[in-house]
Structure 1
């Protein structure tokens, strides 16, 4: 996969700097696997060496596609398999937009979304613990980093149901749980 060619294809695929390539519409032939791993920590590694260029990571993150349980980097002309240890994105920051009441989350790769029905949060198991994940785009999810989760725990409202208490947050009219505990 030639990086210069990829940049050109991506820049012409959208109508502006904020446009995401329409990878869900691309169905190129499979060209094999690449020794690229997105670690649990959100770090990108190629052939045992971590990527250090944030712009390159953001560029590659924009062409990640998930089919079934497998992840790929895709262009209109090729599809290359990659390894993702958990999910491709990690949420490293969150803030409340006072005007809209929506919580905006930012990923390590530069994606920003506002939590809503279109970008829901769900609880999943990660390394033996239940943690929140947020839908970022298409069928790609991001795990909420523990630093963001700790802030959310401080902000959450307790909702009691039977012998369980759930910690809830609201983003606009969308309410979501970030965890539960038994009393």
Structure 2
């Protein structure tokens, strides 16, 4: 089954239109599929977002986007690729996705933030997609919840853009508002 959904582009799009596009995207109901575990997929998502199969990078971007739609995180923290008839483990070095671009409308409590992911999807930071900063082996890791237990780590430029907005608004502790919720940007250690 070929992946036919084009990636969402944040350029020149309002957050209202982004919300509509996100709502219209139909993803497989992986949260409702519970087949027997079949083994290991031989796949890995590297910390930088590169997908590998049997140690070789997957170069077809559409194939990676397709696999991303059937990815979920299990309650034990492991990641799996799941279809109605099989479930295969996939290794994930950090987070499954990266937030690679952001857009913002409004100021302070009235701000809304949209993020584009390296999977071609997008989201709006808020109650369904909270932003956190968690400790990691490489230092504080700013992350946003995507879906089905999956997270996206914010790339450095996106995090700096958020931090710049937070510092300009002078909140203490430094943080950012989106959809009426305040998200601290400091390490929660």
Shorter-normalised TM range: 0.7 to 0.9
Q: Which has the higher strand share?
A: 1
Provide the aligned C-alpha RMSD in A.
2.4
Aligned twin of 1:27: 34
Deviations 1:120-177 (A, max 9, x none): 01111233311211011121111111111111121113434xxxxx321111311111
3-state SS of paired residue (1:59): helix
Aligned partners of 1:66 and 1:121: how far apart in 2? 18
Aligned partners of 2:148 and 2:43: how far apart in 1? 21
Task: Report how many residues are paired.
Answer: 165
Question: Quick check: 1:131–1:178 contact (8 Å CA) kept in 2?
Answer: no
Match of 2:100 among 89, 92, 100: 92
Aligned twin of 2:121: 111
Unaligned runs of 5+ in 2: 4-22
Q: Residue 150 in 1 paired to residue 150 in 2?
A: no
3-state SS of paired residue (2:146): strand
Give the TM-score, by structure 2 length.
0.79
Match of 1:42 among 49, 52, 58: 49
Moved over 4 A (4+): none
Work out which of the two has the higher radius of gyration on C-alpha atoms and give 1 or 2: 1
Deviation at 1:22, TM superposition (A): 0.4
3-state SS of paired residue (2:145): strand
Match of 2:63 among 42, 56, 66: 56
Deviation at 1:17, TM superposition (A): 7.3
Q: Greater relative contact order: 1 or 2 (C-alpha under 8 angstroms, separation 6 or more)?
A: 2
Aligned twin of 2:145: 135
Give the TM-score, by structure 1 length.
0.82
Aligned twin of 2:171: 159
Describe the shift of the 1:105–1:66 C-alpha distance in structure 2 as closer, same or farther (beyond 3 A): same
Deviation at 1:96, TM superposition (A): 1.0
Aligned twin of 2:10: none
Aligned partners of 2:73 and 2:128: how far apart in 1? 18
Aligned twin of 2:12: none
Aligned twin of 1:75: 83
Q: Residue 123 in 1 paired to residue 133 in 2?
A: yes
Aligned partners of 2:24 and 2:72: how far apart in 1? 20
Deviation at 1:98, TM superposition (A): 4.8
Question: Quick check: 1:38–1:88 contact (8 Å CA) kept in 2?
Answer: yes
